[in-house]
A and B are shown apart, each in its own frame.
Chain A
Amino acid sequence: MRVAIVNNQAPFVRGGAELLAEWLHQKLEEYGHEAEIVRIPFQWNPPERIIDHMLAARLVRLANIDRVVAFKFPAYYVPHEDKVLWLLHQFRQAYDLWGTPFQGIPDTSAGCRIRNAIVGADRRHLTEVKRIYTNSKIVGHRLRLYSEIDSEPLYPPLLDSGPYHCEAYEDYFFMPSRINALKRQYMAVEAMAKVSGATKLVIAGPPDTPGDLAQLMDVVHEHELESRVEVIPRWISDDEKLRLLAGARGVIYIPLGEDSYGYVTLEAFHARKPVITLADSDGTHELVRDGRNGRIAVRAQGLADAIDELAGDRALAERWGQTALETISELDISWDRVVRCLTA
């Protein structure tokens, strides 16, 4: 069938959703469908613009399309009789971020009208789609809580999991991710100060700002961990990442309050590595099962304990790593499933 993958567009931004759209495009074509990526610009500043873009989406007309797969607000308002959502986001500022410092829309009467429009529009239009999948249970829970609409999780696979492999469980932990406050690399470093053994930590990823890197290095120096913590402050190539994963004892991924499990977790599991995460990382818990394929540590001290636990027991890491791999097939995180669900 001819599928339009409909996503927002914030010019010059290329994030997870853009990647997912490209991967889905490639996979749909591999499975014999025809696909086009349709990107609809979205601007949310000033907040009145949000309404403009909601309406613009409703006035878009699509020719030659059998099925629309839409990812986000407000692109998912595009009219089409055969529309399926693979929901990555509603507009969180109107929902779980409303009433927090991140609500984005002002508390004025105009702001409240805008928020009411978003809430009302979602309730009205999301019930008219054929089926809703979400990329995580958290997004699904929010959809039920705020819009009273049901959905089913459909986990995004890696584009190509083939190259991920395990060679050994050496004496280091790997932490790949952009370096910023939300990814909390500093907490892992602090944990390393409490770890009893000689195990190492390798942090790799581009810092969002020079300040982010400076802050992290301060923590390293403060605890004199220069010899135990290696920081690679840039994008690493796929080969580098595969190599570092293949030899790691485990992967540490402790972002604050993420919606979904993150590709880091999935990559680790494909490489048969257990993952250490935190209780407030939220999304990672959809993959990480405490004591079976990783550790959900409760506080910073728990983090250190978890590192010690795996550092001191190579066989444990191997067992958890095996379970981690099985978790992927247990949850059927595959393109087979994705394409089947989205084109059914």
Chain B
Amino acid sequence: MRIAWVTPFHERSAIAEFSQRVTNELAKLAEVEIWTADDAPLLASELEMVGYRRGSKDLDALRHHDAVVYNMGNYLGYHGAIHGVSKKYPGVVILHDRALHHMFADMWLTGDTADPVHYIERMGFHYGAAGVQAASEYLRGVREPVWESDEDLLRFPLYEESIMNALGVVTHSQGQARQVAAGWCGPVTSLKLPCYVDVLTRADASVRPPPGERLRLLTMGHINPNKQAHRVIGLLAADPQLAARVEYRIVGPSGGFTAYSDTLQRLVAENADHLKVEIVDWVPDDELEREMAWADVFVNLRHPNIEGGSASLMKQLAFGRPVLCFDSGSFGEMPPGVAISVPTGDFLAVGVALHDLVSDASWREGVGRKAREFAASCSERSYAEGVLSLVEQARTASPALRVLDLVSHELGDLNVDGRLPVFHDIAHDFARILDV
């Protein structure tokens, strides 16, 4: 099978790294060609690479492939071009994020082709009157942007826009797969994000400092309110007994959330005499891995969980330390015992779990071992196999999906109102002969 893998491939894109790893494995099972619109510096690959520009007629070469796979994420710079191509050359879409709202908002509201009316129309198309209201209120300046509110992002994710004429969808959590399948009728699957082999190797080789008197807690990544670091500090401040036995480091940039960052700094300063908490800004990868090697427990609470799968979670699991998390999204989909997951939003339970973690070393080690095992099982190879299987399902479904798209398109061009009976009649006839 000949597969065109359309992806960002720029050095600085996490999805580029993902694509590099997965296509290396996929190329052992099929013929894979990487298509990217990014400029240098690109990652290296031994596979054929095709550079494209949106709208160029070279894109027609995509038709020579048996399947096209599109990697969709929430950043316009990398994914706008990909989305454009996917509309014209239907294929399988991998949703790397739960919400693509920011990307579409950038696409429709900024730059030369800005078209606010289109934004409102699309929000209405996918979410009805509520969507129209959210979009128009923002544009009138009486409401905050949807993409700055996690609650809004859960209500108006806009991933639907990216899969409208897809032939298959890959998600990274079962919850998202169910959500997609509830509103889209082609093949959908959820795959576990891979934990890269070299990450496992480095994690295994990392030097763990000898245990100290305090349990070392680490929260890492982009530091914003969603990660709940402020609630953890508050929890510790209210529980001196616990606070005396833990050391908490918060490592990562907080770009775009300076107010929050200031709040955190203030909290830490206010509690400096009875809490051992340190905030560290962005650090390069090798230093981050040293921080991870240092940690005894990863505190990875996200609320609300607006992610699809989590690459950072995989990395944490690779280090063989317990991850303390809420049970929503992909965090709630791990096998039992692989992580310590408490009911979403329940900080009392977080406190209880921390107490247990502090007192029971053998339990900690047991969970850490299971975490590492699980990470090892989420290989690039198994991901590649999963994608291939979905691609085959998508190919089987494609004649049906294409004719449904064609007929819908024609009915749209004929200005036919959705309430007329022709839709029902067609569905009835097709249901008798199509397997969709």
Give chain A's interface residues, CB within 8 Å of chain B.
48, 51-52, 54-55, 58-59, 77, 110, 113-114, 116-117, 119-121, 124-125
Contact = CB atoms under 8 A, between A and B. Distances in A.
10 contacts: A48-B420, A52-B425, A55-B414, A55-B422, A59-B407, A117-B415, A117-B416, A121-B413, A121-B415, A125-B414
A59 B407 CA distance: 8
B181 interface: no
Nearest to A113: B417
Given A58-B414, A120-B414, A113 B422 contact: no
A58 B409 CA distance: 11
Contacts of B407: 55, 59
Contact of A48 (B410, B411, B413, B421): B421
A52 B410 CA distance: 12
B402 to A, nearest CB: 13
Contacts of A55: 407, 410-411, 414, 416, 422
**Interface on chain A toward B: helix, strand, loop, or mixed SS?**
helix
B419 A51 contact: no
A50 to B, nearest CB: 10
A51 B415 CA distance: 10
The 5 closest A-B pairs by CB, nearest first: A120-B415, A113-B417, A121-B414, A58-B410, A117-B415
A113 B419 CA distance: 9
Interface string B277-298: 0000000000000000000000
B414 A114 contact: no
Interface in B19-37: none
Contacts of B421: 48
A124 B415 CA distance: 9
A116 B417 contact: yes
Interface residues of B, number: 13
Interface of B: 407, 410-411, 413-417, 419-422, 425
Given A55-B410, A59-B410, A116 B420 contact: no
A54 to B, nearest CB: 5
Given A52-B425, A124-B414, 19 more contacts: A48-B421, A48-B422, A54-B414, A55-B410, A55-B416, A55-B422, A58-B413, A58-B414, A110-B420, A113-B419, A114-B420, A116-B415, A116-B417, A117-B414, A117-B415, A117-B420, A120-B414, A120-B415, A121-B414
Most chain B beta-carbon contacts within 10 A, residue among A52, A55, A121, A125: A55
B420 A51 contact: yes
A210 B242 CA distance: 105
B262 to A, nearest CB: 56
A125 B411 CA distance: 12
Contacts of B416: 51, 54-55, 113, 117, 121
A43 to B, nearest CB: 13
B413 A125 contact: yes
Contacts of A120: 414-415
A58 B414 CA distance: 9
Contact of B417 (A52, A58, A117, A124): A117
